[in-house]
Amino acid sequence: MNKERLKPEHPMEALLRMDRMPHIWCPTCGIGTAVSCFITALEKIDYPLDKVVVVSGIGCTGRVAGYVKLDSFHTTHGRPIPFATGLKLGNPELKVVVFSGDGDIVAIGGNHFIHAARRNIDITVICVNNFNYAMTGGQVAPTTPLTALATTSPYGCFETPFSIPYLADSCGAVYVARWTALHIRRLTKSMVEALNKPGFSVVEVICPCSTLYARRNKLGTGLDLMKFYHESSVIKHGADTRELDIEFQKPMVVGKFVDRERPTFLESWNAQMKKALGEKFQPYGGSNEHD
Amino acid sequence: MSTTELKIGGFGGQGVILSGIIIGKAATIFDNKSATLTQSFGPEARGSACSAQVLISDDQILYPYVTVPDIMVVMSQEAYTKFEPELDENGLLLIEKDLVKPKKPREKIKQFAIPATRIAEELGRKIVLNIVMVGFFTAMTGIISAKAMREAVKTTVPKGTEELNLKAFDRGYEYGMNLKKKGKAPK
Amino acid sequence: MKVDPKGVLTGSYFLDGDHACCEGALAAGCRFAAGYPITPSTEVVERFAERIPLVGGIFIQMEDELASSIAILGASWAGLKSMTVTSGPGFSLMMEHIGLGAMLETPCVFVNVQRGGPSTGLPTLPGQADMMQARWGSHGDYELISLCPNSPQECFDFMIDAFNLSERYRVPVMFMMDECVGHMTEKVVIPPADQIEVVPRRYTTLPPEEYLPFKPDPDLVPPMVKVGDGYRFHVTGLTHDERGYPVMSAECQETLVHRLIDKIRRNARDIWIYEEDQVDGAEVVVISYGITHRVALRAVQMAREKGLKVGMMRLIVVWPFPEERIRQLADKVKAFVMPEMNYGQVVLELERCVAGKAKVLLAPHGGGTVHKPEQIYERIMEAAK
């Protein structure tokens, strides 16, 4: 991003660390779009922004925490979800958002993802899926479509990829949506819904990685990818999450798939302890009680 | 000799560890002595012969494990077979009369038996046999006061069972004191 | 600062080391624990899970030790005193976040009830072979603090020191127990709450516009903020400047890492906790830590009965190593003996500090049980020759 173009009146200045610009993302990378949508969503949720925290892992999307002007943590690879779990349980007043990539969330952090979903930890996960490990140069990921090329699958990916919405749904997430970086308004709306939803909410953002994934697979420029998203995205709210596999350069289903009610971890904790211990139970109100 | 080494043996579910806890607690909390309890953990602790080991001393206890027990309390045949050879040659062996069929004791070993299971059954709950043994141990050794032991029993057993367990303790203790009165036991 | 009396179970108990460790944490004000079951440490979190709903706080059994070890960092930044508990194999998995904790300067306590290793080793039997791992286990350069208790009473007492040191210096503190101490049951006296002093977290007094998250006070420790208090701060595991922003340069690395190390080294005099007995005029000084100290004391008594002048130094804080004191002693004594339940770990530091001025003899032990006092006694006699 060009420094001169970032005028002080940049509409998102209040929520971006302008002193850290330019950012590290490549031209036409979709992560910036996801961040813009997120900031727009934050302005719509009517929640004190001092109480919103962003936690990232490692990778291109892992850098998001460093650019948003909120309390923010850039943690270790794959572990933003358990860090966020500690934050949220430490102070339940916080709205905790994990913003990280597909490798971080469903490969190295896969175990944390499924257990946080199972427990219904009250956090929002925004998972940017660019189908490869971009920070390290374009290696195969657990989301790489079959036959797609990557530096560590030079003859084409032959492992079945994860469908992030299906994984999230089957593990108990209360809100699951998928959009591409093209669907700015819909993505923003889903982010708002996810942020407002108590419990473990997941928004997958399909993003172009023109420098690595697209180039290696001869998919054209960032603009070509956006055209592809436009032509081949099929909006299907409430689709059966078992039918959301992404095949290489085939039409893909986007939309809001899951929106259900389940008690959160803390609600369950309070209910069970109250039931088991009665008056002896000390309801837990978080770190602010100890000031 | 300021440190007494005690080993309690039996099978899982007999309350071997609880016996050790009561003795250690009586010594430390109610009798102002030092005590260290150790036990076996893992698969070996779940076998047919498990044990609790207690060191009791008037001084600070340094080395934490029982090496050569001076006193052994045994509540099962397998524990007897497994542990008896470890007992000091001048040691005191206290056994459950109906559960342990002992060999002829080694020359200098003092060996005494109590029908703890029968006593426990008379009280209505076979499960308190370990507390009968603890009472018997208290009478036969005299290293911890009966008062301290009763306090430890009372504050360690499950709530609502204190009376039963104290009765069990008293019966074991009386049995031991009677043996002593008859001159059959060490003073 | 006095502790929250809700967590203090004042009275005399017959407790094992694991349970006493948990009570120490609760007394110190720990209100968040995350753990994963592993022998012989599990009893610590079992007790925490039972007690914490009565005190006001949270326990969460995480999916593994990687998760546990970072959840406590999150909870600490949220403003709670936090700990995790494990043994060797889990400690290996936690190394990643011991490093992150050092880098983010996050107060928290890692309890390691050491068992025999390597790998699965001896789950139910003691070892002291994770001492160098506590010192150097995570990648990169850093300094942390490690304490070793030798009894259930000390598991209680020194857990309070562990939390205090972690708050004072903003570092993860390693509480290095062992299976023997963890599973032995002894008398534990828990004092009244008003007799327990705790170190409060050092929060900044500056407003957000003036605050720099990693600008240290003169003692090299930066004041902290709590998430959600409006500071809009950023922290990262990348090398960072005082603003907390990543800077990929040798200069920034030098400034940051040097301070992280000096934060402990320059304050070491205030951190060291050790005990000495009859070291003045001693020919041989035995240095030990943890459960091994109790066994060594028996050996020292045996040697003294033979008329030998043997001193005893017992390390409660093992890291940072009390090098200054060792150098002083090295000028005066003929030999040092160090028993440890490993084949030579902390003794390497001892040798480094003695620097050839006196003999250094290791009394090694592979773990599985403690030394026999005779093994240590023989080394003392050999050292005295």
Range A210-214 average pLDDT? 95
CA atoms within 13 A on the CB side of C24: 28
| Pairing outcome for strands A175-180 and A252-259 | antiparallel
Return the pLDDT at C254: 98
Cβ within 8 Å of A, C 243-302: 245-246
Instruction: Tell which of C195, C229, C254 closes a domain.
Output: C195
Distance of residue A117 Cα from the nearest chain C Cα, in angstroms: 12
Instruction: Tell which of C195, C214, C236 closes a domain.
Output: C195
Domain match, C309 and C186 both: no
> Does residue A282 belong to any structural domain of this protein?
no
Residue of chain C whose Cα is closest to the Cα of A65 = C234
Whether the predicted pLDDT of B1 surpasses 60: no
Nearest CB to C40 within list B20, B21, B41: B41
C6 vs B43: which has the higher pLDDT: C6
Return the pLDDT at A290: 47
Q: How far apart are CA C236 and CA A73, in angstroms?
A: 6
Nearest CB to B38 within list C14, C183, C298: C183
> Does residue C247 belong to any structural domain of this protein?
no
Distance of residue B51 Cα from the nearest chain C Cα, in angstroms: 14
Range C43-64 average pLDDT? 97
Range A185-208 average pLDDT? 98
Range B5-18 average pLDDT? 94
Q: Which domain holds residue A65?
A: 16-261
Cβ within 8 Å of B, C 167-196: 180, 183-187
For an interface test with B, which of C115, C124, C186, C372 has the most B Cβ atoms less than 10 Å from its Cβ?
C186
Chain B positions in Cβ-Cβ contact with residue C39 (cut-off 8 Å):
41-42
pLDDT in tens, C122-150: 999 999 999 999 999 999 999 999 999 99
Q: Are residues C232 and A69, on separate chains, in Cβ contact within 8 Å?
A: yes
Give the CATH number of the domain where residue C113 resides. Answer: 3.40.50.970
Domain match, C51 and C191 both: yes
Domain match, C57 and C176 both: yes
> Does residue A86 belong to any structural domain of this protein?
yes
Return the pLDDT at A83: 98
> Does residue A271 belong to any structural domain of this protein?
no
Kindly report the average pLDDT of chain B as a whole number.
93
Return the pLDDT at A291: 45
> Does residue C323 belong to any structural domain of this protein?
yes
Return the pLDDT at A11: 82
Total of domains in chain C: 2
Residue A283 pLDDT level (bands cut at 50, 70, 90):
confident
Instruction: Report the phi/psi class of residue B132: left, alpha or beta, with left for phi > 0 and alpha for psi in -120 to 50.
Output: alpha
| Pairing outcome for strands B71-74 and B3-10 | parallel
Nearest CB to C78 within list A20, A94, A284: A94
Q: Are residues C14 and B62, on separate chains, in Cβ contact within 8 Å?
A: no
Range A159-184 average pLDDT? 98
Range A178-187 average pLDDT? 98
Q: Are residues A284 and C80, on separate chains, in Cβ contact within 8 Å?
A: no
Q: Is the dihedral of CA A64, A69, A70, A75 positive or negative?
A: positive
Residue B46 pLDDT level (bands cut at 50, 70, 90):
low
Nearest CB to A111 within list C63, C72, C104: C63
Cβ within 8 Å of C, A 192-231: none
> Does residue A169 belong to any structural domain of this protein?
yes
pLDDT in tens, B85-122: 999 999 999 999 999 999 999 999 999 999 999 999 99
Domain match, C279 and C185 both: no
Give the CATH number of the domain where residue A163 resides. Answer: 3.40.50.970
C376 near B CB under 8 A: no
Q: Are residues A287 and C67, on separate chains, in Cβ contact within 8 Å?
A: no
**% of chain A with per-residue pLDDT over 70:** 95
Of A4-8, A73-77, A168-172, A261-265, minimum mean pLDDT range: A4-8
> Does residue A38 belong to any structural domain of this protein?
yes
Q: Which domain holds residue C348?
A: 274-383
Does chain C touch chain A (at least 3 C-beta pairs within 8 Å)?
yes
Q: Are residues C233 and A285, on separate chains, in Cβ contact within 8 Å?
A: no
> Does residue A269 belong to any structural domain of this protein?
no
Q: How far apart are CA B149 and CA B33, in angstroms?
A: 13
Return the pLDDT at A215: 95
B to C CB pairs, distance under 8 Å: 63
> Does residue B187 belong to any structural domain of this protein?
no
Residue A243 pLDDT level (bands cut at 50, 70, 90):
very high
> Does residue A73 belong to any structural domain of this protein?
yes
Total of domains in chain A: 1
Total of domains in chain B: 1
A199 Cα distance to chain centroid? 15
> Does residue B30 belong to any structural domain of this protein?
yes
Return the pLDDT at B186: 61
Q: Are residues B36 and C294, on separate chains, in Cβ contact within 8 Å?
A: no
Nearest CB to A90 within list C64, C80, C104: C80
Cβ within 8 Å of C, A 148-187: none
Q: Are residues C294 and B64, on separate chains, in Cβ contact within 8 Å?
A: yes
Range C3-27 average pLDDT? 97
Give the CATH number of the domain where residue B108 resides. Answer: 3.40.920.10
Q: Six-digit token pair at C207?
A: 């407003």
Residue B42 pLDDT level (bands cut at 50, 70, 90):
low
Chain A positions in Cβ-Cβ contact with residue C226 (cut-off 8 Å):
91, 287
Q: Are residues A82 and C237, on separate chains, in Cβ contact within 8 Å?
A: no
Q: Which domain holds residue B169?
A: 4-181
Chain C positions in Cβ-Cβ contact with residue A277 (cut-off 8 Å):
53-54
Instruction: Show the DSSP H helices in chain A as ranges.
Output: 31-44, 64-67, 80-90, 102, 110-119, 164-171, 184-196, 215-216, 222-232, 265-277
Quickly count: other Cβ atoms within 10 Å of residue B37's Cβ. Answer: 28
Range A112-124 average pLDDT? 98
Nearest CB to B29 within list C123, C180, C187: C187
Return the pLDDT at C314: 98
Quickly count: other Cβ atoms within 10 Å of residue B141's Cβ. Answer: 20
Chain B positions in Cβ-Cβ contact with residue C40 (cut-off 8 Å):
41
Q: Are residues A87 and C56, on separate chains, in Cβ contact within 8 Å?
A: no
Whether the predicted pLDDT of A4 surpasses 70: no
Return the pLDDT at C360: 98
Chain C positions in Cβ-Cβ contact with residue B65 (cut-off 8 Å):
369-370
Q: Are residues C74 and A50, on separate chains, in Cβ contact within 8 Å?
A: no
Give the CATH number of the domain where residue C355 resides. Answer: 3.40.50.920
Nearest CB to C226 within list A66, A74, A287: A287
C253 near B CB under 8 A: no
Residue B13 pLDDT level (bands cut at 50, 70, 90):
confident
Return the pLDDT at C227: 97
Q: Are residues C230 and A50, on separate chains, in Cβ contact within 8 Å?
A: yes
Range B151-159 average pLDDT? 97
A287 vs C146: which has the higher pLDDT: C146
Instruction: Tell which of C163, C195, C227 closes a domain.
Output: C195
Whether the predicted pLDDT of A286 surpasses 90: no
Q: Which residues pair with C175 in a beta bridge?
A: C111, C147
Kindly report the average pLDDT of chain C as a whole number.
97
Report chain B residues touching chain C, CB-CB < 8 A: 20-21, 24-25, 28-29, 34-42, 44-45, 61-65
> Does residue A152 belong to any structural domain of this protein?
yes
Q: How far apart are CA C58 and CA A35, in angstroms?
A: 32
